[in-house]
Structure 1
Amino acid sequence: MRFHFALTLWTSVCQAVQHYPAAWGHYDLCKFQIYTEEGLTWDYMACQPEAADMTQYLKVTLDPPNITCGDPPETYCALENPYMCNNECDANTEELAHPPKLMFDIEGRNPTTFWQSTSWQKYPKALLVNITLSWNKTIELTDDIVLTFESGRPEQMVLEKSLDYGRTWQPYQFYATDCLDAFTMEPKTVQDLTQHTLLDIICTEDYSRGYVWKYDKTVRFEIKDRFALFAGPRLHNMASLYGQLDTTKNLRDFFTITDLRIRLLRPATGATMVDEDKLTRYFYAISDIKVHGRCKCNLHANSCVFDKEKLGCECEHNTTGPDCGRCKKSYQGRAWSSGSYLPIPKGTANICIPNNIGPVNCECFGHSNRCSYIELLNTVICVSCKHNTRGQHCQLCKLGYYRNTSAELDDENVCIARVCDNELLRCQNGGVCVNNVRCSCPSDYSGLLCEKSRCEAELGGCQGPDSGAALPPPPLRLLLLLLGSALLGGASAL
């Protein structure tokens, strides 16, 4: 029977291991069934959706709304050649239109498809465009944000983020050919950042060069380089990164957004002076935007669905809401809490518990800090008991260990190994092993194995366990016995 149980348990463990993520940081499993001494139960873990291309779920808006080219139709000149003016934009002709949706279409088309703004015909008034990407959902970024320009890259640009659905904005990064001139900021790169300055907002000049660099058309906001400050250059130590994200709210919020805004402030000119006779050379055009991330579900869901034009987490752990940000109505037995990435690699689920079992903490006498709610039994058990303990509250000792009666239940030494047996750890000096837990010693001996004599080699003799007076030492005792016998013999003769 014991072998059958062990085999079943091992099979369950093997099946569970097959479901573990292949690498740290996936957290793609919210729970699985395990066998415990209390029976079949669920083991809950922190979980999150897989990262994906988030541009397929967004809504894009432009400000001003009529900034897209083609209404009325226009002809554009090439930036690098002001006399090459054969590029047309006509919003009413499909093959000549450049609407905003072409910023997110399939790459690799020939000819390239792209969104394009009107030209800088109103120079010297600034050519300003705001491109806002909205998800109506909290998103966690997992890779670099990459903009690919079909025109020259802007000479001045700001990338901004919102955490409250566009009500307020804060800068992510500034871009300029001259940071001091454009934003009164010293130029920096992401390589200048450290763990302590990761949240600093910088201005970079790396992505703002003109048409001389026409074959390098991308502008980046470097997410992975910032991750690498904790996880290493190859992101090999994700445990360190997730530990930081778990314990530092500001860091976690830095990579979290509901909206992105691209503020285009000055188009590429390729020179220090603007050619006012050929203003159709100056415009913005974007062929691709990449935003990789995942739905933020507070580590309470491993999938996110797009239904009725809206993203939502499929919440587990008895949680609910767009971000799994609250407990279900009948599962508010304790305050809601986000899941935890720690301990790596399973994390801690921090599930919501039913109202009728009250505000339960992990009551494990300090031998575990993780609990699992058993739906079938409507109870909570401690998970992964330490210090050789077991049981619902880690209040029992593992097989082969015994309760140390001199220690309290919350003592690390509450469970101790086999003290004695009848073969190797024999009780000494006539002691008897009782249930492998202790030696029952004769009155003259004490100690774990009855190895200590109660007698002290002093002139005063030994203190007997039951007597209140001191006995003479053995030689003197023998002499007194002989003397007593002689006296008794003399008395009889009289």
Structure 2
Amino acid sequence: MRLSGLLPLQALWAALSLTAQHFPSWGHYDLCKAQLHWDQAMSWDYMACQPEAALLTRSLKVSLDPSDSTCGETPEMYCTLENPYMCNNECDAHMPELAHPPELMLDDEGRIPNTFWQSVSWRSFPEPLLINITLSWGKTIELTEDIVITFESGRPEQMVLEKSLDHGRTWQPYQFYAADCLTSFGMEPRSARDLSPASVLDIICTEEYSRGYVWKVDKMVRFEIQERFALFGGPGLQDMASLYGQLDTTKDLRDFFTLTDLRVRLLRPATGATSVDQHNHSKYFYAISNLDIRGRCKCNLHANNCIWEKGKLSCECEHNTTGPDCGRCKKGFQGRAWRAGSYLPIPKGTANVCDPTWSSLRNCECHPDGSLHHRCNDTGYCDCKEGATGPKCDRCLPGYNWHRGCRAGVCDNFLTRCENGGVCEDNGRCVCPAPYTGLLCEKGQCGEEVGGCVSQSPRDPTLHRVLLSLTALLTAANGRPPL
């Protein structure tokens, strides 16, 4: 950004924007921000810290119970429900092109030919064909969009979606699915569209994804996240401020969309429009081609990034927090009790930074270049050299910049340029041509108070002093002048 040619007021506004850019403690939001670019300036947009929402199936592990419920250990031909004599779907786990392992639920949708996991057939009818599919992240996540399960077989006539908040030790239902909710689960059928703000956390049974036999057209089973969000965010989630306000102040609502594991309990496969054919069980099975689960790592609003490293998801914690979910203060930063970050005030949020403890101030070491001694004094602070400041003497006072310690800095070739032909040397001092003197070569040799010499500086003196003050603040904040 160039300041030349701007009116004094514009230059001052641009300088203030630069201050917002470089100052390291601009409110609580310095670590969670995005750049906004204007015609003649740049500013920062601050917001609560949270990772971007993303497809979560790329970072999960899938397991089956029973473990031998995938087809193909004994090669088998499968038939279709619509035509029991059309049996050209062969499953053979020993041949890659004919195998249907669980990981094919997680590969890219849209491949031709389509890929899918397939279960064993219902050979032991009338004993129930029960299979649990468990999806584990090893990390707490927050759902942001509908869960969508795409079946290549008919959609199950009975199914339960469950979640765990403790890595699979305990489970609770999310939603029941049945062709007949009353007979299957003793529940009246309901739809997500029937929910209200007061009943948003209700566990319902829906017949919407199980009744009828149109499996070639309707392959998807949904758990509607967006319908519930819309109860607070309005149609199309236009009012995100209202939704964030509810999530911030209602712990049960926030926890409803939080989990570590999902479990799909398949209780009865699709049987078609007629009764079960007891002489041909090879047309009754489960097959899933895609799982679409979108959300973000739960970082308690203390991280802007979540990374996949060494087979694990983890938050890149800020605000002096640590742990898989940034759920505690770092050692030496328990100056106040840990708290999750907040969406409020919307849209900036409040970071609730962990403060350093007194003992940490007395013990974390003094900076060797900024401090007179290696250890802090009896007050818990270090004895700083000239120009240095901070508990560890690792920052500079206004008018100084960091270069193996703090040294006086009065020019930077940007905001505070040397005047009257002076040259800024090492961003530290102005080398002035005769007959000029002063920090910025702004004085004649005989000084401003004597009438014999007059500065040739074209700068507005009031604006110049404002910019000089801003530069001193930036230098103190960063240990160097702004670029």
What TM-score bracket applies, with the shorter chain setting the length?
Answer: 0.5 to 0.7
Letter in 2 for 1:322: P
Letter in 2 for 1:319: T
Change beyond 3 A, Cα 1:307–1:14:
closer
Once the 2 structures are TM-superposed, how far is the Cα of residue 44 of structure 1 from its aligned partner?
8.1
Aligned mate of 1:246, from 245, 248, 259: 248
Could you tell me which residue of structure 1 aligns to residue 17 of structure 2? Answer: 10
Could you tell me which residue of structure 1 aligns to residue 133 of structure 2? Answer: 131
For residues 319-338 of structure 1, the aligned pairs below 5 Å read 319-338=321-340
Could you tell me which residue of structure 1 aligns to residue 280 of structure 2? Answer: 278
**Matched residues in 1 for 2:303 and 2:73: separation?**
45
For residues 95-114 of structure 1, the aligned pairs below 5 Å read 95-114=97-116
Once the 2 structures are TM-superposed, how far is the Cα of residue 277 of structure 1 from its aligned partner?
1.1
Aligned mate of 1:193, from 183, 187, 195: 195
Aligned mate of 1:159, from 153, 161, 172: 161
- Tell me the SS of whatever aligns to 1:262: strand
List per-residue Cα deviations over 1:189-241 (Å, max 9, x = no partner).
Answer: 00100000000000000001354342110000000110000000110000000
| CA RMSD between the two structures | 2.7
Could you tell me which residue of structure 2 aligns to residue 397 of structure 1? Answer: none
**Matched residues in 2 for 1:176 and 1:91: separation?**
31
Could you tell me which residue of structure 2 aligns to residue 445 of structure 1? Answer: none
**Matched residues in 1 for 2:389 and 2:227: separation?**
46
Could you tell me which residue of structure 2 aligns to residue 395 of structure 1? Answer: none
**Matched residues in 2 for 1:144 and 1:376: separation?**
52
Aligned mate of 2:344, from 320, 342, 345: 342
Query: Which of the two has higher C-alpha Rg?
Result: 1
**Matched residues in 2 for 1:376 and 1:186: separation?**
68
Q: Is the 8 Å Cα contact of residues 29 and 46 (structure 1) preserved in structure 2? A: no
Could you tell me which residue of structure 2 aligns to residue 61 of structure 1? Answer: 63
Q: Is the 8 Å Cα contact of residues 213 and 273 (structure 2) preserved in structure 1? A: no
Change beyond 3 A, Cα 1:155–1:112:
same
Letter in 2 for 1:201: I
In the alignment, structure 1 residue 318 sits paired with structure 2 residue 316: no
TM-score, normalised with respect to structure 2 = 0.68
Gapped regions of structure 1 (runs ≥ 5): 20-26, 34-41, 360-374, 380-494
List per-residue Cα deviations over 1:345-391 (Å, max 9, x = no partner).
Answer: 110000011112999xxxxxxxxxxxxxxx97459xxxxxxxxxxxx
Once the 2 structures are TM-superposed, how far is the Cα of residue 87 of structure 1 from its aligned partner?
1.0
Could you tell me which residue of structure 2 aligns to residue 410 of structure 1? Answer: none
Could you tell me which residue of structure 2 aligns to residue 182 of structure 1? Answer: 184
Could you tell me which residue of structure 2 aligns to residue 217 of structure 1? Answer: 219
Change beyond 3 A, Cα 1:328–1:45:
farther
**Matched residues in 2 for 1:85 and 1:101: separation?**
24
Once the 2 structures are TM-superposed, how far is the Cα of residue 12 of structure 1 from its aligned partner?
3.8
List per-residue Cα deviations over 1:252-308 (Å, max 9, x = no partner).
Answer: 000000000000000000135111111101000000001101000000000011111
**Matched residues in 2 for 1:175 and 1:274: separation?**
20
Q: Is the 8 Å Cα contact of residues 333 and 358 (structure 1) preserved in structure 2? A: no
In the alignment, structure 1 residue 268 sits paired with structure 2 residue 275: no
Once the 2 structures are TM-superposed, how far is the Cα of residue 149 of structure 1 from its aligned partner?
0.2
Could you tell me which residue of structure 2 aligns to residue 173 of structure 1? Answer: 175
Aligned mate of 1:117, from 116, 119, 122: 119
Aligned mate of 2:72, from 70, 73, 80: 70
- Tell me the SS of whatever aligns to 2:236: coil
Could you tell me which residue of structure 1 aligns to residue 204 of structure 2? Answer: 202
Once the 2 structures are TM-superposed, how far is the Cα of residue 10 of structure 1 from its aligned partner?
3.4
List per-residue Cα deviations over 1:438-477 (Å, max 9, x = no partner).
Answer: xxxxxxxxxxxxxxxxxxxxxxxxxxxxxxxxxxxxxxxx
Aligned residues: 346
- Tell me the SS of whatever aligns to 1:226: helix
Letter in 2 for 1:169: W
Change beyond 3 A, Cα 1:123–1:313:
same
Change beyond 3 A, Cα 1:213–1:92:
closer
Q: Is the 8 Å Cα contact of residues 29 and 45 (structure 1) preserved in structure 2? A: no
Q: Is the 8 Å Cα contact of residues 332 and 360 (structure 2) preserved in structure 1? A: no
**Matched residues in 2 for 1:146 and 1:163: separation?**
20
List per-residue Cα deviations over 1:130-168 (Å, max 9, x = no partner).
Answer: 000000100000000000000000000000000000000
Q: Is the 8 Å Cα contact of residues 153 and 210 (structure 1) preserved in structure 2? A: no
Gapped regions of structure 2 (runs ≥ 5): 1-7, 36-43, 362-387, 393-483
Q: Is the 8 Å Cα contact of residues 69 and 116 (structure 1) preserved in structure 2? A: yes
Q: Is the 8 Å Cα contact of residues 155 and 210 (structure 2) preserved in structure 1? A: yes
Q: Is the 8 Å Cα contact of residues 28 and 50 (structure 1) preserved in structure 2? A: no
**Matched residues in 2 for 1:168 and 1:28: separation?**
39
Letter in 1 for 2:137: W
Q: Is the 8 Å Cα contact of residues 229 and 243 (structure 2) preserved in structure 1? A: yes
Change beyond 3 A, Cα 1:216–1:29:
farther
Q: Is the 8 Å Cα contact of residues 332 and 359 (structure 2) preserved in structure 1? A: no
Once the 2 structures are TM-superposed, how far is the Cα of residue 14 of structure 1 from its aligned partner?
7.7
**Matched residues in 2 for 1:136 and 1:7: separation?**
46
Q: Is the 8 Å Cα contact of residues 48 and 347 (structure 2) preserved in structure 1? A: no
Letter in 2 for 1:243: G
Change beyond 3 A, Cα 1:278–1:43:
closer
**Matched residues in 1 for 2:117 and 2:86: separation?**
20
Could you tell me which residue of structure 2 aligns to residue 405 of structure 1? Answer: none
